[in-house]
């Protein structure tokens, strides 16, 4: 079982944004995540770090990977895990987020994971409950645990070739405007010393992207030049209130990742996608399913390990309080 020594000095109470973490916190989480990733290949990967603790998963938006990986992470650490099915809860009867928070708080959970369509909902909840709150995606704002698992996954892949994250050139491509994954990843990769590029059509790039500490490109050819890794994003149609692209076919033609566009990047460039993927819209199946190029399945694997590390680290703070 990993011990807590490696977390000495880890002080964040919640994980609402990457801004809650400094470089040292991030390095500690990545180290612990790596330990859990190594342990996950062992037959009995369960332990009791969170024995006697309660984790509540509160997902107001759909999720496959994130919700299931938090559930699995909690169970593997021995926690009691409750998944709130929002559609069958009092929320469906009109209860407000704050009333739900007060109700859940009265049950004395130790960790609360929330995904919500409104930016800032996890931060609001964190003010109302006495346990650690983890943002599992809030509107278009942030998705810090996704950024951390992406960093863990990429770090593992480059370390296998004797490399490191610091100094890598990474492109984040596609629907940046609606992406909480992009917002968290830009911050995290910048802290870790990567050179970050954003590539997308002007309609799908935030107006203030040039102030994010990135280089902005509108075409894949120049944007992907010299890139070590490419993070593709889903076209988030559910967040689009109007027409942002002429058609999915045209979008794929200009921004979908296929072999021809991948050739603009470094020869051994790695491809990532947080999922769910829209095949043939932002990425071709040919690339997504090529294990020599695509880290997509490994990202899911890293997701469980990283979330184990996050739950472990935040639960210690509760123990100290
Ligand atoms: C992302 C999300 O929900 O923001 N997915 C995820 O957590 N794996 C990205 C997306 O929905 O496109």
Structure confidence at residue 239 as a pLDDT band (50, 70, 90): confident
Q: Is the pTM of this model over 0.75?
A: yes
pLDDT at 91 over 80: no
* pLDDT on residue 311: 98
pLDDT at 209 over 70: yes
Q: Hey, is 298 helix, strand or coil? A: helix
169-183, 192-206, 242-256: least confident range? 242-256
Closest residue (by CA) to atom 12 of ligand 1?
Answer: 234
* pLDDT on residue 43: 66
Q: Which of 78, 74, 2 is nearest to 38 (CA)?
A: 2
Residue whose entry in the numeric block shows the structure tokens 């076919």: 249
- Closest atom of ligand 1 relative to the 143 alpha carbon: 4
Burial bucket for residue 55 (CB in 10 Å: 0-12, 13-18, 19+): buried
Q: How far away, in angstroms, is 173 Cα from ligand 1 center?
A: 14
pLDDT at 85 over 80: no
Q: How far away, in angstroms, is 108 Cα from ligand 1 center?
A: 29
Q: How far away, in angstroms, is 276 Cα from ligand 1 center?
A: 7
Residue 302, C-beta contacts closer than 8 angstroms, at least 6 positions apart: 33, 37, 149, 150, 152, 153, 156
* pLDDT on residue 321: 54
CA distance 278 to 234: 6
Q: How far away, in angstroms, is 319 Cα from ligand 1 center?
A: 31
Sheet holding 111-116, edge to edge: 80-85, 54-59, 111-116, 132-138
Q: How far away, in angstroms, is 274 Cα from ligand 1 center?
A: 6
Q: How far away, in angstroms, is 216 Cα from ligand 1 center?
A: 22
Q: How far away, in angstroms, is 266 Cα from ligand 1 center?
A: 26
Q: For residues 243 and 296, which has the higher predicted lDDT (pLDDT)?
A: 296
Select from 181, 182, 185, 295 the residue to mutate for testing ligand 1; criterion: most ligand atoms less than 8 Å from CB. 181
In this structure, are residues 229 and 199 in contact, taking their beta carbons and an 8 Å threshold? no
Omega prior to 117 cis, within 30 of 0:
no
Structure tokens at 64: 């496959």
Alpha helix stretches (DSSP H) within the chain: 23-40, 65-76, 97-106, 121-128, 144-160, 180-191, 220-223, 248-255, 259-262, 285-288, 296-320
- Residues 96-126: tens digit of each pLDDT: 888 888 888 999 999 999 999 999 999 999 9
Residue 207, C-beta contacts closer than 8 angstroms, at least 6 positions apart: none
- Closest atom of ligand 1 relative to the 233 alpha carbon: 12
Question: Mean pLDDT in the chain?
Answer: 93
CA distance 147 to 313: 17
Structure tokens at 147: 């950024």
For the chain, how long is the longest CA-to-CA vector?
A: 56
Residue ranges lining ligand 1, Cβ < 6 Å: 65-66, 137, 143, 146, 180-181, 234, 236, 274-275
Select from 59, 61, 275 the residue to mutate for testing ligand 1; criterion: most ligand atoms less than 8 Å from CB. 275
């Amino acid at each position: 079982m990993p011990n807590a020594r490696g977390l000495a000095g880890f002080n964040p109470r919640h994980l609402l944004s990457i801004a809650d973490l400094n470089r040292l916190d991030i390095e500690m989480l990545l180290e612990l995540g790596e330990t859990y990733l190594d342990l996950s290949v062992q037959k009995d990967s369960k332990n009791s770090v969170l024995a006697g603790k309660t984790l509540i998963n509160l997902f107001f938006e759909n999720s496959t990977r994130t919700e299931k990986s938090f559930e699995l992470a909690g169970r593997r650490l021995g926690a009691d895990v409750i998944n709130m099915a929002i559609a069958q809860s009092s929320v469906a009867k009109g209860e407000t987020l704050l009333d739900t928070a007060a109700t859940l708080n009265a049950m004395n959970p130790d960790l609360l994971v929330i995904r919500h369509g409104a930016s800032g909902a996890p931060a609001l909840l964190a003010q109302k409950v006495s346990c650690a709150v983890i943002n599992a995606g809030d509107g278009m704002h942030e998705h810090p645990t996704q950024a951390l698992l992406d960093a863990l996954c990429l770090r593992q892949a480059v370390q296998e070739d004797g490399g490191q994250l610091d100094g890598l050139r990474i492109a984040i491509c596609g629907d940046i405007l609606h992406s909480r994954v992009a917002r968290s990843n830009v911050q995290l990769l910048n802290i870790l010393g990567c050179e970050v590029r954003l590539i997308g059509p002007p309609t799908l790039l935030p107006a203030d992207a040039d102030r994010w500490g990135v280089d902005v490109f509108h075409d894949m050819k120049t944007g992907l030049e010299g890139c070590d890794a490419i993070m593709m994003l889903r076209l988030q149609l559910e967040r689009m209130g109007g027409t942002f692209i002429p058609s999915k076919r045209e979008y794929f033609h200009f921004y979908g990742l296929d072999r021809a566009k991948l050739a603009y990047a470094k020869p051994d460039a790695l491809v990532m996608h947080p999922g769910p993927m829209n095949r043939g819209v932002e990425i071709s199946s040919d690339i997504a399913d090529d294990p020599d190029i695509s880290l997509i399945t490994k990202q899911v694997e890293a997701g469980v390990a990283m979330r184990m590390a996050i739950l472990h680290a935040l639960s210690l703070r509760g123990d100290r309080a």
